[in-house]
Amino acid sequence: MIKNNQSDQENIEQLQKITKKLSRQIIEITTRAGSGHPSSSLSAIEIMVALYLGGIMNYRPDEPGWPDRDRFILSKGHAAPGLYAVLAEAGYFDPEMLLTLREIGSPLEGHPNMRVLPGVEASTGSLGQGLSIGLGHALAARVDGRDFQVYVMIGDGETNQGQVWEAAMTAAKYRVSNLTAILDYNKFQQTGSVNHVMPTLEPLVEKWMAFGWHTTEINGHVFDDIFSAIRNAQATDNRPHIIIAHTLKGHGLSPFEKDDVNRKHGKPLTEEEKAQALEELEAYSYDQKITSFEQRPNPNIEPPERRQ
């Protein structure tokens, strides 16, 4: 449950500071590892910070299997560096361990592995599967009479997968109100922009509504937006909720922005690019609201006329 102090200005400034620190870690550990997905991690970072460190989720790092914990499933598992940075900050493991990302013997694998790293709720990395797993958790809460929330982060490209829509349909059938999906709408997937690969993802809000979901559309880099969306999600009875979060893949940092094909998907920054990105990150001010909200792929198709 949401704690009432979290949208305090003071709290938000603290979260912004933490976000910057974790963003730095994401960039540093992927460059150090020589591989990984920093841009995919950075688009989702404020949302994960808000959930774990902004007082939204209930969890116990010293008891990762606590049955009443809220669950977060990173369905777009390649954003693992972001999840790891957040889990370390949340107290699941020593942040020093972040430096072992992708090394042999390290539980910080290229994609999250629930068998080796406490705090990871699902083994992901094959896109499309997380929302169904989240649905399973949400139904288990009902069967066991428990009161926990389930959050599932999915990619915009990931919603190409049929399984996402299978889960969407089923979650609405069972009216699971403790399931919240968050769609990281960063407008890029692997081989190109969403506009290029799957422009017919739009109209997106209407699709989820048609599947029986409550929707909130936000700027995913703005904490106020995130908190009010979560409040909306928790206020909805009888239905699953999706937060469609407009974000920037690579958080608007120029070394990522320069790649207009896929925002350096799956590529760490070079040492030189890293220096540039860290400098921009340092100078970044949350007062300059990120303006990605209006960028929508153009489906180039007219919605069909509704028959009366």
Partner 1 sequence: MDIGKKIGLTYGPPTRNAFGNALKEVGAQNQNLVVVDGDVGNSTRTQYFRDEFPDRFFNVGIAESNLIGTASGLWASGKDVLAASFACFLLCNAYDQIRMSIAFPQANIKLMGSHSGISIGEDGPSQMAIEDIALATALPNFTVIVPADAPSTKAATHAMFDREGPVYLRTGRPKVPVLYDENLDFNIGEAIQVRDGSDISIIACGLMVAIALEAAHTLSEEGIDARVIDMHTVKPLDTDAIVKAATDTGAIVTAEEHVLEGGLGAGVAHVVARHKPVPMGFVGIDNTYAESGKPEELLAKYGLMPEDIVQKVRGTLKKK
Ligand X SMILES: Cc1ncc(C[n+]2csc(CCOP(=O)(O)OP(=O)(O)O)c2C)c(N)n1
Contact segment (CB under 5 A) with Mg ion among 53-61, 170-178, 180-188, 201-209 equals 180-188
Contact segment (CB under 6 A) with ligand X among 48-56, 132-140, 184-192, 276-284 equals 184-192
- Identity of the residue, 88 or 141, whose beta carbon is nearer to partner 1 in the bound complex: 88
Contact segment (CB under 5 A) with Mg ion among 86-94, 151-159, 233-241, 265-273 equals 151-159
Distance CA 293, CA 284 (A): 18
Tokens 């003071």 -> residue = 10
Q: Does 75 bind Mg ion (CB under 5 A)?
A: no
Binding to partner 1 in span 72-101, by CB under 8 A: 77
Helix/strand/coil (H, E, C) string of the chain? CCCCCCCCHHHHHHHHHHHHHHHHHHHHHHHHHCCCCHHHHHCCHHHHHHHHHCCCCCCCCCCCCCCCCCEEEECCHHHHHHHHHHHHHHCCCCHHHHHHCCCCCCCCCCCCCCCCCCCCCCCCCCCCCHHHHHHHHHHHHHHHCCCCCEEEEEECHHHHCHHHHHHHHHHHHCCCCCEEEEEEECCECCCCEHHHHCHHHCCHHHHHHHCCCEEEEEECCCHHHHHHHHHHHHHCCCCCEEEEEECCCCCCCHHHHCCCCCCCCCCCCCHHHHHHHHHHHHHCCCCCCCCHHHCCCCCCCCCCCCCC
Encoding tokens for residue 247? 């974000």
Distance CA 298, CA 195 (A): 6
Q: Does 157 bind ligand X (CB under 6 A)?
A: yes
Binding to ligand X in span 65-94, by CB under 6 A: 76, 78
- Identity of the residue, 157 or 255, whose beta carbon is nearer to partner 1 in the bound complex: 157
User: Which phi and psi (to 5°) does residue 72 adopt?
Assistant: -125, 125
Q: Does 127 bind ligand X (CB under 6 A)?
A: yes
Work out what residue 267 binds among Mg ion, ligand X, partner 1, none; the CB cut-off runs from 5 to 8 Å by kind: none
Work out what residue 198 binds among partner 1, Mg ion, ligand X, none; the CB cut-off runs from 5 to 8 Å by kind: partner 1
Closest-CB residue for ligand X? 155
Q: Does 198 bind partner 1 (CB under 8 A)?
A: yes
Work out what residue 105 binds among partner 1, ligand X, Mg ion, none; the CB cut-off runs from 5 to 8 Å by kind: partner 1
Q: Does 270 bind partner 1 (CB under 8 A)?
A: no
Contact segment (CB under 5 A) with Mg ion among 104-112, 165-173, 184-192, 277-285 equals 184-192
- Identity of the residue, 251 or 265, whose beta carbon is nearer to partner 1 in the bound complex: 265
Contact segment (CB under 6 A) with ligand X among 100-108, 155-163, 167-175, 234-242 equals 155-163
Work out what residue 76 binds among ligand X, Mg ion, partner 1, none; the CB cut-off runs from 5 to 8 Å by kind: ligand X
Encoding tokens for residue 260? 């207009």
Residues binding ligand X (CB under 6 A): 40, 43, 76, 78, 125-128, 155-158, 184, 186, 188-190, 249, 265
Chain residues binding partner 1 by CB under 8 A are: 33-36, 77, 102-106, 108-111, 113, 116, 123-128, 157-158, 160-162, 189-191, 197-198, 262
